[in-house]
Structure 1
Amino acid sequence: MNDQTQESPPEDNHRARTARQAPVSPIWLVPIVALLIGAWLAYQHYASRGPLITLTTESADGIEAGKTLIKTRSVDIGSVEKLSLSEDLAQVIIQARMKPEAEPLLVDDTSFWVVRPRVGRDGISGLGTVLSGAYIQLEPGQSHEEARNFTISDQPPVAPPGAKGLHLNLITQAASSLSVGDPVTFQGLSVGRIEEADFDVTSREMHHRVFIRSPYDELVTTNTRFWTSTGIDLSLGSEGIQFQMASFETIINGGVTFGVPEGMPPGELASQNSTYELFGNSAEAQEGTFDLYLKYVLLFEDSVRGLSRGAPVEFRGIRIGTVESVPWEFNAPQPQGRDRLAIPVLIHLEPQRLDDSGNIDLAEWKKRFDGLFNAGLRASLKSGSLLTGALFVDVTFDEQRAGTYQAETFADESVFPTTSGGLAQIQGQVTALLDKLNHLEVEPILANLDRNLATSEEMLNQINQLTAELRDLLGDEDTRKLPATLNNTLVDLQATLKGISPQSNAYQELTTTLHEVRRLIRDLQPAARKISDDPRSLIFEGPKADDPMPRAPNQRRQP
């Protein structure tokens, strides 16, 4: 029995060998092919993806992951995939996937900015994003170096990369209200824009970067001066009233204008990234061309009210310098020999105004002025405008002072000799008189006068009204008939009075009637008394009265 259990039947062994040698089923080919196709599609998707770039911005306002697109020239070239904060939480890091065809655009100077509705100096822009949502605009650069990290700008660039034109730097010491996008004009024509505006805390200077597009960049030379333009320039100075008006855009937004000062050669064309000083106005820009000057101090014992910085220094109507500071170093000690306190005024004598040859020898000019001082050359204050009260420095010869010049210094600067102007004395007297008039209490007097005039006017109006009414009354026809009517009335009254006189019949009849009335009243008195005592007597007959009994003499009536 054990032998039967250990030996297997021949048929069972044949079936086992047949099962082990069976071929693989074709059904397994389906998952294998699907796996290969999936792997191929995944490879194709990965290979067709564009580059991943990183964008940095201060705020992600309007940007959403999976929705915000990146466009250039209104063509979609990428989308935002992820938003996150930087480690210091100061910036927003944007991960964006670009399309493969956009890879050549990702160079070092490519610029990005967010397009959203804006109300700016150039009007309203980005209204199309109200319904579609904000998107990121890409402006291709001109560099050949690839880049994957970029910064999103707050504003669209004024000049796109590669634009033909001139980039310049402007520096000013004064605060300026200029901002990015303000126009740069030349004789009223807009030729460029301000690209950047930054304040340097260290140097306390305002730095502006401007772009002047081609072909207007050829207008900028080495002798060009830049100044701010407010659109409307109104100034009151010693030279009178000056009014200038620029373009409408400049009036609304302000801006920068430039030009070559009068009397200067154009100069050579400016190079890229040149630096210029930005002046406050055209007058300062004109004055800025005179960079060679002699410094002198004027010591005035008269009032300098009305004299300000920038006032001209003239010689017989020709400007030869500029007032630089009023007053200047006021606390410095006065020169010896002066018994009165003088107000120091610093001026610049500018030989370039008289000699435009370019060969200016300041030492020679100083020597020349010293000789003119000995010949009687003196400075005084004169009025430049009676309307504004502005003063200027007038230089002329005083023959009575010839040969009396003595050199003096004030705070290590040479003193220009001065003389008192007769106009200053007259102005002082006029000013004192005006001050006295200003202290008079004129307003109460004028107020009382106004009230008296008003009362008088009201009284005259009433008199005129009364006169008109009296004239109308006297001119009425009924008023004219009134005397005749009154006379007739008096005649009738007199006749009436005659009719009731004691001798008249009417008077006699009236008297007789009154006597009869009096007798009737007397007769009615007993009846009235009876009715008063017994009202029933009017209806019922009263009780019969007893016959009256005679009364004894001296007998009193019983009660």
Structure 2
Amino acid sequence: MPEIAPAPGKTSPPAGSRRRFSWIWLVPIIAAVGGLLLVLRVWMEAGPQATISFQTAEGLESGKTQVRYKEVNVGIVQRVALNPDRTGVVATVRLNKEAAGLLQEGTVFWVVRPRLTLSGVSGLSTLFSGAYIGLDPAGHNAKDIPEKATKFSFVGLEVPPEVTQDRPGKRFTLKAHDLGSLDIGSPVYYRRISVGQVVGYRLDSSGKGVDIQVFVDAPNDAYVNEGTRFWNASGVDFSVDSRGLEVRSQSLLSVIVGGVAFDTIETRLHAAAKPNASFPIYSSETAARAQPDGLPLRIRMRFDQSVRGLSVGAPIDAFGAPVGQVDSIGLELDRTTNQFYALVGATLYPERLGAKTFEEIREFSGSSLEHPSGKLMAAMIERGLRAQLRIGNLLTGQLYVAMAVFPDADPATFKMEEAPFIPTVPNNLDQLQLQLNSILTKLDRIPFDGLGAEVGNLLQGTSRLVKRLDTQLAPEASAMLRQAGKSLAVVGGMLSPDAGLPVNTATLLQELARTARSLRELADYLQTHPGSLLRGRAPDTVPARAPSR
């Protein structure tokens, strides 16, 4: 067969250069597409990524440490590294897609490890499963938690929160002078039942007090209202009064770890307290149940005697009721006498006498604590109101200030000012000391030397008199006694039974008895025959002779 020549200008391909597409290439293409789809699916199903800062990486491992919420695994730690300034670590975690909404403002993270606290032992399960990161979102229910992540950088807690944010109840802030024996986990009591706990504390903005965070579980948080008062229930409260020794304590746990108690003191109805409301905390139940302080009234007192035993905070009683306390104690120099005296500053709370009494006082005096006129105080001082130091404890010698009326007190003037002076009187011991000093002064004025000489002369004269009595009067007295003995002997002889005087006396008595009997018979006869006084005695009748037989 003849060969066909190629067309001019074209060259024919070499033999075997044409190849068809091989189906074997579909396998890697399908694998690549499947892998790409798988990666795309994993990327689409992957949850958000977040960073958490901790002080240490103890218990954290990349690819192993889990992130849990309510003991459910919701993520895993992907990377652990030092932060840029090398003061801590940053853990990169990835959460599941369905848990993305947990990354929000207010969510807290912490590392769960075995811990021993006042509230008990926690994290024991990590001894076998290893540490994990706990999570607590800010929302209290599912409606409060968004569907997507809104925050991706967090600072982890080094200590787990005592109360989760979704726990039903309310938080309150207690204002205290110091923390005392309270600590995180200390119980909160209502009528001796534990209804909450202390969850945190910090210094206030001024640095002069402590803000204590407490949490009261529902439904007991409804008992906290505007009239509720909190007090420190730590330890044991001892009191000695007319009823004897009284010991009060909330529980054995509060003695060991401290505690807080509360109750509604006022009887009127109050609205329930709002979350994060602030309350002052009192030092004891007695202080909490006392009358409200109200507006203060500053006073000053001058004492010219020793104030040893009086301390800042000592109570001030008015007619037996506590109405204030001592704020300061200082010394001042009196230029007129060049002697020091004690200047005591104090605060009075008239409202402690009761709201009704306080209103009557204001109505009577025509003044208020904001604009006091001093009319009532001046009238009371004119009637003898004075301040006096008294012993409150015989064992310790502790003093307190008593406001009482002394009708015999020296007159004093009163001037109302920002911190008026209240006149004072010495206490009983000082008065007794003054009286003893006065007696000793009078005794010093007695001339004991002259009295001693006079007493010596008196004793000498007495000695001479005794000697004279012994030499002159004694013999005469002996003779007189002997003569008196003889006279008594004669009288005794005359009165003896054999003497004539007793015999004659007996005969005389017999005759007197016969005479008295005759007079009695005469009186009987005259009573029977009264006419005999005129006619005489009738002749005696002859008795009749009996007839003979």
Normalising by structure 2, report the TM-score: 0.67
The yes-or-no answer on 1:387 pairing with 2:368 is no
Q: Equivalent residue of 1:39, what SS?
A: helix
Tell me what 2:352 maps to.
353
Distance 2:313 2:191 in 1: 24
Letter in 1 for 2:394: L
Tell me what 1:147 maps to.
151
Tell me what 1:160 maps to.
164
Tell me what 1:59 maps to.
56
Which deviations, in whole Å up to 9, do the C-alpha atoms of 1:501-544 show, x marking residues without a partner?
xxxxxxxxxxxxxxxxxxxxxxxxxxxxxxxxxxxxxxxxxxxx
Tell me what 1:280 maps to.
283
The equivalent position to 1:369 in structure 2, one of 353, 365, 377, is: 377
Kept in 2, the 8 Å contact 1:229–1:255? The answer is yes
Kept in 1, the 8 Å contact 2:324–2:348? The answer is yes
Matches within 5 A, 1:34-183: 34-142=31-139, 143-144=144-145, 146-183=150-187
Tell me what 1:206 maps to.
210
Specify whether residues 187 and 424 from structure 1 end up closer, same or farther in structure 2 by C-alpha distance, changes over 3 A only.
Answer: farther
Specify whether residues 299 and 172 from structure 1 end up closer, same or farther in structure 2 by C-alpha distance, changes over 3 A only.
Answer: same
Tell me what 1:406 maps to.
413
Q: Equivalent residue of 2:221, what SS?
A: helix
Tell me what 1:456 maps to.
none
Distance 2:177 2:183 in 1: 16
The yes-or-no answer on 1:325 pairing with 2:327 is yes
Q: Equivalent residue of 2:121, what SS?
A: strand
The yes-or-no answer on 1:269 pairing with 2:272 is yes
The yes-or-no answer on 1:313 pairing with 2:320 is no
Which deviations, in whole Å up to 9, do the C-alpha atoms of 1:370-418 show, x marking residues without a partner?
111111222222223323433232333222236x1123699x6311111
Q: Equivalent residue of 2:340, what SS?
A: coil
Kept in 1, the 8 Å contact 2:55–2:88? The answer is yes
Kept in 2, the 8 Å contact 1:240–1:385? The answer is no
Tell me what 1:231 maps to.
235
Tell me what 2:306 maps to.
303
Distance 1:345 1:266 in 2: 40
Tell me what 2:427 maps to.
421
Kept in 2, the 8 Å contact 1:70–1:78? The answer is yes
Shift of 1:117: 0.6
Q: Equivalent residue of 1:138, what SS?
A: strand
Tell me what 1:216 maps to.
220
Aligned residues: percent identity?
Answer: 30
Shift of 1:72: 2.0
Distance 1:68 1:322 in 2: 60
Which deviations, in whole Å up to 9, do the C-alpha atoms of 1:325-374 show, x marking residues without a partner?
351x434x54x766643212223332212231374533568321211111
Shift of 1:129: 0.9
Shift of 1:116: 0.8
Shift of 1:136: 0.9
Which deviations, in whole Å up to 9, do the C-alpha atoms of 1:25-68 show, x marking residues without a partner?
22222222222222222222222222212112222211111111
The yes-or-no answer on 1:188 pairing with 2:186 is no
Specify whether residues 168 and 365 from structure 1 end up closer, same or farther in structure 2 by C-alpha distance, changes over 3 A only.
Answer: farther
Kept in 1, the 8 Å contact 2:315–2:326? The answer is no
Consecutive unaligned residues in structure 1, runs of 5 or more: 1-6, 431-559
Letter in 2 for 1:378: R
Q: Equivalent residue of 1:197, what SS?
A: strand
Kept in 1, the 8 Å contact 2:65–2:76? The answer is yes
Letter in 2 for 1:417: P
Kept in 1, the 8 Å contact 2:233–2:249? The answer is no
Shift of 1:200: 4.2
The yes-or-no answer on 1:342 pairing with 2:348 is no
Letter in 1 for 2:187: P
Tell me what 2:467 maps to.
none
Shift of 1:80: 0.5
Kept in 2, the 8 Å contact 1:113–1:153? The answer is yes
Distance 1:323 1:242 in 2: 24
Shift of 1:198: 1.4
Shift of 1:137: 1.5
Distance 1:312 1:22 in 2: 113
Normalising by structure 1, report the TM-score: 0.66
Letter in 1 for 2:402: D
Specify whether residues 366 and 236 from structure 1 end up closer, same or farther in structure 2 by C-alpha distance, changes over 3 A only.
Answer: farther
Distance 2:273 2:40 in 1: 56
Q: Equivalent residue of 1:324, what SS?
A: strand
Distance 1:77 1:416 in 2: 72
Specify whether residues 140 and 292 from structure 1 end up closer, same or farther in structure 2 by C-alpha distance, changes over 3 A only.
Answer: closer
Shift of 1:82: 0.5
Shift of 1:237: 10
Letter in 2 for 1:330: L
Matches within 5 A, 1:456-495: none
Q: Equivalent residue of 1:290, what SS?
A: coil
Kept in 2, the 8 Å contact 1:325–1:346? The answer is yes
Kept in 2, the 8 Å contact 1:295–1:347? The answer is yes
Q: Equivalent residue of 1:400, what SS?
A: coil
Which deviations, in whole Å up to 9, do the C-alpha atoms of 1:82-137 show, x marking residues without a partner?
01222222232110111222223333233222111111112222111112210112
Letter in 1 for 2:355: D
Distance 2:352 2:60 in 1: 60
Cα RMSD of the aligned pairs, angstroms, is 3.5
Distance 1:82 1:270 in 2: 45
Distance 2:13 2:276 in 1: 93
